[in-house]
């Protein structure tokens, strides 16, 4: 039988409901979905360590029988080949994501023509959600409870000193 294994790579600092929505959609159409956290991210200093991020994703995806979580370093195409994965899953929220995603997909295709990139769109209500905005809003005392899993809210509270919004 033909089984499809896909990699869902990212920084996940931290996991959002948008990521979870995409994981749920991906898990419905592929046989095995591997959420893969990039260890050597060039995105600057992360808020959460890689093991912290891995644990949060692990907890949040417990309910899926075909989703696993791991980490990777180096080229995504090498990791995908090593995993025996035929596809990479990525989410596209808005047109603004498209250019970056297109470049990455084409570069990955150049590096490994056998690896396909699958794009899926998260639920409309998460279109504006990003890890970067979540961190920024939370650090300024904003409420992010509807946008990230409950465990992530707890971890954000433990990591970031409690801040109350300034009086209006
Ligand atoms: O969630 P992100 O930060 O947008 O994810 C970016 C990620 C991890 C998918 C991308 O940076 C990546 O695959 N990095 C690994 C290095 C690599 O393969 N680079 C060449 C692809 S253009």
Q: Is the CB of 11 under 6 A from ligand 1?
A: yes
Instruction: For CA atoms 44, 100, 53, 34, give the dihedral sign.
Output: negative
Please give the pLDDT value at position 42. Answer: 84
Residue 57 pLDDT: 98
Residue to mutate (ligand 1; options 13, 35, 38, 78; most atoms within 8 A of CB)? 38
**Cα distance between residue 165 and residue 168, in whole Å:** 9
Give the ligand 1 atom nearest the CA of 74: 16
> Is position 19 annotated as part of the catalytic site?
yes
CA of 2 to the centre of ligand 1 (A): 27
pLDDT in tens, 46-83: 999 999 999 999 999 999 999 999 999 999 999 999 99
> What's the gap in Å between 42 CA and the centre of ligand 1?
9
Task: Report whether 43 contacts 13 (CB < 8 A).
Answer: yes
| Regions of the chain short of the pLDDT cut 70 | 1, 162-166
Give CA separation, 134 vs 35, 47, 62, 67, 114, in Å.
Answer: 20, 11, 23, 24, 35
> 39 CA distance to ligand 1 centroid (A)?
10
């Amino acid at each position: 039988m033909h089984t499809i294994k896909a990699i869902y790579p990212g920084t996940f600092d931290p996991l959002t409901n948008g990521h979870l929505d995409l994981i749920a959609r991906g898990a419905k159409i592929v046989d095995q979905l591997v959420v893969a956290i990039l260890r050597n991210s060039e995105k600057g200093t992360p808020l959460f360590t890689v093991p912290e991020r891995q644990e949060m994703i692990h907890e949040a995806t417990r309910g899926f029988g075909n989703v696993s979580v791991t980490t990777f370093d180096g080229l995504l195409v090498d990791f995908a080949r090593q995993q025996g994965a035929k596809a990479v899953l990525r989410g596209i929220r808005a047109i603004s994501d498209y250019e970056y995603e297109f470049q990455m997909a084409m570069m990955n295709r150049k590096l490994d023509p056998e690896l396909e990139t699958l794009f899926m769109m998260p639920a409309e209500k998460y279109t504006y959600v990003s890890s970067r905005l979540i961190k920024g809003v939370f650090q300024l005392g904003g409420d992010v409870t509807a946008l990230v899993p409950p465990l992530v809210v707890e971890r954000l509270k433990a990591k970031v000193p409690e801040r109350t919004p300034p009086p209006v």
